Amino acid sequence: MESLVGQEEMPARTASAPVRADPVYVVKARLFRTLGHPVRIRILELLRDGERGVGELQTELNLDSSGTSQHLSALRQLGLLDSRREGTSVYYRIKDPRVADLLAVAKEILTATLTDSQALLSDLTGEPPPTNRAA
């Protein structure tokens, strides 16, 4: 089973090890690095509501087969997605429902940050903030 830890040998965790060598932080960084691509975030958003076929994802993402496969592979290798084959079709789903929770929390953080920034901008310009719109 592939996962966050991956195939690489992880250094042993010691109290005096520098943070960048600490396996816990290496694994966490790998997670966030993989999630750091807009297409991968969109894939997870699309799969949040349930399983989808690769062709359907390609259409939604407006990507070719190779690009879609690379992003799906990165998410699967990290252990975030499961896949199944049905005939010639491959279907993907989120492996752990907490991934959807992570996306929701990220949205809340971004919304709060942007709301705070908008309020500050309004204070600076003396103009009222624009009305909220659905995301």
In the chain, what are the domain boundaries?
1-96, 97-135
Question: Which amino acid, 63?
Answer: L
Per-residue pLDDT of the chain (135 residues), as tens digits, is 445 555 555 555 555 567 777 889 999 999 999 999 999 999 999 999 999 999 999 999 999 999 999 999 999 999 999 999 999 999 999 999 999 999 999 999 999 888 888 888 888 888 776 666 555
So what CATH class is 1-96?
A: mainly alpha
pLDDT of residue 74: 96
How many CB atoms sit inside 10 A of residue 126's CB? 6
Token couple for 21: 């060598």
| Residue 84 φ then ψ, to 5° | -145, 150
Cα dist from 100 to 43, 45, 115, 129, whole Å: 11, 8, 22, 30
